[in-house]
Amino acid sequence: MEYEAVIGLEVHAQVLTDSKMFCGCSADYANAAPNTHVCPVCLGLPGSLPVINQRAVEMIAMTGLALKCRINHDTFFDRKNYFYVDLPSSYQRSQYDHPICVGGTLEIDLANGPKHIGITRAHMEEDTGKLTHVDGGSLVDYNRSGVPLMEIVSEPDIASPEEAKLYCAKMRQLLVWIGVNSGNLDEGAMRFDVNVSIRPKGTETFGTKIEIKNLNSIRSVERALIYEIERQTKVLSEGGSLQQETRGWDEDKGVTLGQRSKEFAHDYRYFPDPDLPPLAIDEPWVAERRAELPELPDARRQRFEAEYSLSAQDALLLTSERAVADYFEAAVAADREHAPKSVANWITGELFRLLNDGGETIGAAGARLRPEFIGELLGLLKAATINGTTAKQVFEESFRAGTPPAAIVDAKGLRQISDSGAVLDFARQAVEANPKVVGDYRSGKTQAIKFLVGQVMKLSKGQANPQIAEQALHEVLDA
Given the rule CB under 5 A, which residues bind Zn ion? 23, 25, 39, 41-42
Beta-strand relationship, 3-14 and 137-141: unpaired
Selection from ligand ADP, Zn ion, none that 154 binds (CB < 5 to 8 A by kind) is ligand ADP
* 195 interacts with, out of ligand ADP, Zn ion, none, CB within 5 to 8 A per kind: ligand ADP
Choose between 163 and 470: whose C-beta lies nearer to ligand ADP: 163
Rounded to the nearest whole angstrom, what is the least distance from the CB of residue 130 to Zn ion in the complex? 15
Calpha distance 35→114 (Å, rounded): 45
Cα dihedral value 8, 318, 300, 151, nearest 10: 30
Work out the angle between the directed axes of helices 466-478 and 435-442 (0-180°, nearest 10).
Answer: 80
**251: helix, strand or coil:** coil
Q: How far is the CB of 160 from Zn ion (least distance, A)?
A: 42
Least distance CB 9 / ligand ADP (angstroms): 6
Partner from Zn ion, ligand ADP, none binding residue 42, C-beta < 5-8 Å depending on class: Zn ion
* From Zn ion, ligand ADP, none, interface partner of 182 (C-beta below 5 to 8 A by class): none
Q: What is the DSSP string of 182-197?
A: ---GGGTSEEEEEEEE
**Considering the complex, what minimum distance in angstroms separates the CB of residue 466 from ligand ADP?**
58
CB closer to ligand ADP out of 195 and 387: 195
Q: Can you tell me the distance from the alpha carbon of 69 to that of 60, in angstroms, rounded to the nearest whole number?
A: 11
3-class secondary structure, 159 = coil
Q: Which of 410, 397, 393, 389 is nearest to 458 (CA)?
A: 389
- 411's contact among Zn ion, ligand ADP, none, with CB below 5 to 8 A by partner kind, is none
Minimum CB distance to ligand ADP, residue 163 (Å): 13
Other beta carbons within 10 angstroms of residue 319's beta carbon come to: 25
Binding site for ligand ADP (CB under 6 A): 6-10, 153-156, 195-197, 206, 209, 265
Between 8 and 340, CB nearer to ligand ADP? 8
The CA distances from residue 65 to 13, 14, 278, 294, 421, in Å, are 16, 17, 20, 11, 66
Nearer to Zn ion, 20 or 165 (CB): 20
102 makes contact, choosing from ligand ADP, Zn ion, none, with CB < 5 to 8 Å by partner type, with: none
Q: Which residue, 206 or 271, is less far from ligand ADP as judged by CB?
A: 206
Helix ranges (DSSP H) in 42-186 = 54-66, 161-177
CB of 7 to ligand ADP, least distance (A): 6
Indicate the residue among 80 and 144 with the shorter CB distance to ligand ADP. Answer: 80
CB of 57 to ligand ADP, least distance (A): 22
With CB under 5 to 8 Å by kind, the binding choice for 196 among ligand ADP, Zn ion, none is ligand ADP
User: Rounded to the nearest 5°, which phi and psi values hold at 278?
Assistant: -65, 155
**Distance separating alpha carbons of residues 459 and 426, to the nearest angstrom:** 6
* Ramachandran assignment for 395, one of left (phi > 0), alpha (psi -120 to 50 degrees), beta (any other): alpha
Residue 88 contact, options ligand ADP, Zn ion, none, Cβ 5-8 Å cut-off depending on partner type: none
Beta strand extents in 127-253 (DSSP E only): 130-134, 137-141, 148-154, 190-200, 210-215, 245-250
Minimum distance of Zn ion from residue 145's CB (angstroms): 8
Q: What's the CA gap between 267 and 287, in Å, rounded?
A: 37
Q: Are 380 and 386 in contact (CB under 8 A)?
A: yes
Is 268 or 451 the residue whose CB approaches ligand ADP more closely? Answer: 268
- Least separation in angstroms between CB 156 and ligand ADP: 4
Decide which of ligand ADP, Zn ion, none touches 6; Cβ closer than 5 to 8 Å per partner kind.
ligand ADP
Q: Which residue is nearest to ligand ADP (CB)?
A: 8
Q: Which is nearer to ligand ADP, 9 or 408 (CB)?
A: 9
Nearer to ligand ADP, 10 or 251 (CB): 10
